[in-house]
Amino acid sequence: MKMEQPEIVDLADNGNGSGSETNKHIDLVSDDQSDSDPSQKTTLEEMEDFISIKEEEAPVNDDIGGDESMLPEYVPWFRPESLNHSPLVSLHNEILDFCDLIVPSPEEQELRNRTIEDCKAVILELFPDAEVVVFGSELTQLALPTSDIDLAALNVQEEPKKRHLHRVGAAFKGKGIIDYLEVIDSARIPIVKLRHKESQVHVDISFNQPSGLATGACVQRFMRKFPPVRPLLLVAKKFLQQRELNETYTGGVGSFLLQLMVVSFVQHHLRAAHRASRKFQYNLGALLVDFLELYGKTFNYINVGLSVRHNGTYFNKRQGGCFNAVRPGLICVENPEETETDVGRNSYRVMQVRRVFEHGYNRLVAALGQATTAAAGPRVGEARSLLAAVIYPDALLRARAGGGGGP
């Protein structure tokens, strides 16, 4: 579906006209070559109210952590030395500790690197002129321990009836380095799926599809520009994974869509901070709360689309040509590399995603409230993990810390 050039709406103004014209079009990052066109902008009052509109929702496991009193005593990323008298600072520290736990260890990364080299060798033996490149979460360094490795084989001579895919599959079987193989030749983007025997890492191989490199480079640029993006993404990714809402093919929010949602959120936070003449507060705890509130309670999925171009803008979905009358609540997110493409068009369970974000927000605010009203703030021996209100310490996380059911 072709997206028309939308009329850009600056929702950070809150529609009250309080922002000056100078502030309204400020560049958020000094080293960015802004392509913003101030004449395209309009006020919030000229479009429908920026309010949350709910659709009928199917049941979803949004209470993955259970009742707060049922949370396990052992939280593998929780360190008492990270506690602070401010619960939000404690949550900030917890998020950083969680990110340290969740990313691949040097030993795991070495295994992943060997997996990549083994796969490259098999493909290049068949197609000596090909170029095999990594993209996806491995490229952006946003891989979770269970993340697949995405490889693109470029400059491959394609054969009738997708025989080149089956040749690749047969070559891998012949080498004896895999213990799972599936050739998917009927998909819009045909791929070879396999699991490396030594590392047990899953690998998806596509052919002559260079677009993943451009989107990966785009995400890397945003992460360099906005330091909070990476830790927020790692938490949000695990949050959705635990609720089985992280795969596009099942209607969830895939990696690239989530990346753009986080980037957009941070862009608008920066703009709001500038307009309030205050320094942008780099507190991951506060940002996580606000992120869950935005996409769980505030964002108008029916009427508003988002773009990370022009330093972050919202636009009217109908004007942008991405309104779906059958599924009006689909999130509309412009692909910054292919601006005619709506990244959210296949995420048909996004209303369930909205619901779990809302539930996560309520749980996290409740946990923060309890910590705030404690007589002397969090204390070692009494304190409990705040992040565990939204991220359940599952078996994988416990195993990564070398724990079973307890410390």
The predicted structure's pLDDT at residue 149: 96
Q: Per residue, what are the HEC states of 380-403?
A: CCCCCCCHHHCCCCCHHHHHHCCC
The predicted structure's pLDDT at residue 82: 86
Last residue of a domain, one of 192, 208, 224: 208
* Residue 192: strand pairing partners: 183, 205
**Rounded distance, CA 304 to CA 52, Å?**
10
Residue 363 sits in a domain whose CATH number is: 1.10.1410.10
Among 285, 283, 284, 291, CA closest to 265: 291
Residues 367 and 283 in one domain: yes
Total domains in the chain come to 2
204 within some domain: yes
Residues 229 and 292 in one domain: yes
Residues 138 and 236 in one domain: no
240 within some domain: yes
Residue 198 sits in a domain whose CATH number is: 3.30.460.10
The boundaries of the domain holding residue 301 are 215-375+384-395
**Rounded distance, CA 32 to CA 311, Å?**
9
In this structure, is the dihedral angle defined by the CA atoms of residues 151, 157, 160 and 165, taken in order, positive or negative? negative
Q: Which helix (H) or strand (E) holds 26?
A: none
Among 104, 79, 279, CA closest to 199: 104
How would you classify residue 136: left for phi > 0, otherwise alpha for psi between -120 and 50, otherwise beta? left
Residues 204 and 292 in one domain: no
**Rounded distance, CA 296 to CA 313, Å?**
19
Among 407, 360, 358, CA closest to 386: 360
406 within some domain: no
The predicted structure's pLDDT at residue 83: 83
149 within some domain: yes
Residues 122 and 198 in one domain: yes
User: Which tokens is 397 given?
Assistant: 């996380």
Last residue of a domain, one of 150, 179, 208: 208
What pairing do the DSSP bridges indicate for beta strands 202-207 and 149-154? parallel
**Rounded distance, CA 83 to CA 80, Å?**
6
| DSSP string for residues in 38-63 | GGG-B-GGGS----------------
- Helices of type H across 143-275: 163-175, 211-225, 229-242, 255-275
Residues 338 and 323 in one domain: yes
Residues 242 and 388 in one domain: yes
223 within some domain: yes
Secondary structure class of 321 (helix, strand, coil): coil
324 within some domain: yes
Residues 349 and 299 in one domain: yes
Q: Would you say 343 and 335 are in contact if contact means Cβ atoms under 8 Å apart?
A: yes
- Token pair 């309890």 is found at 370
In this structure, is the dihedral angle defined by the CA atoms of residues 378, 379, 385 and 389, taken in order, positive or negative? negative
The predicted structure's pLDDT at residue 174: 96
Residues 241 and 352 in one domain: yes
The predicted structure's pLDDT at residue 43: 30
For the stretch 331-348, pLDDT in tens is 999 999 999 999 999 999
The predicted structure's pLDDT at residue 85: 81
164 within some domain: yes
**Rounded distance, CA 357 to CA 236, Å?**
9
Ranges of beta strands (E only) in 85-201 are: 131-135, 149-154, 178-184, 191-196
62 within some domain: no
Residues 157 and 303 in one domain: no
Residues lower than pLDDT 50 in the chain: 1-2, 5-59, 66-71, 375-381, 404-407
Q: How far is CA 226 from CA 5, 89, 113, in A?
A: 26, 19, 27
**Rounded distance, CA 238 to CA 387, Å?**
12
Residues 187 and 221 in one domain: no
**Rounded distance, CA 176 to CA 179, Å?**
8
Secondary structure class of 316 (helix, strand, coil): strand
Secondary structure class of 335 (helix, strand, coil): coil
The predicted structure's pLDDT at residue 54: 34
Residues 223 and 352 in one domain: yes
**Rounded distance, CA 253 to CA 344, Å?**
8
Last residue of a domain, one of 173, 208, 243: 208
